[in-house]
Amino acid sequence: MDTRIALISIIVTDPESVDSLNALLHDYRDFIIGRMGIPYHKRGVNIISVAVDAPQETTSALSGKIGRLDGVFTKTVYADSRI
């Protein structure tokens, strides 16, 4: 199974979506290398970075599911496939 390293950037503006987001991340825990969350109180948002090593389809599926949550915005950056 070919995997790629990727970074999923997430901004959460709706605190009601945090439990759903954490459930998704838990479901994909076997692919997660690490995560960092920063609460930005001044703007009332949470900024989260999730590093993954997974097949591209798996990363895309996770990012898509995250992006469908209310008040959650995401973008994914992939490392070069040669890494």
The domain limits of the chain are 4-78
pLDDT at 83 over 90: no
pLDDT at 56 over 80: yes
Domain 4-78 part of CATH 2.60.40.10: no
pTM above 0.85, yes or no: yes
Quickly list DSSP for 16-68: GGHHHHHHHHHHTGGGEEEEEEEEETTTTEEEEEEEEEE-HHHHHHHHHHHHT
pLDDT at 1 over 80: no
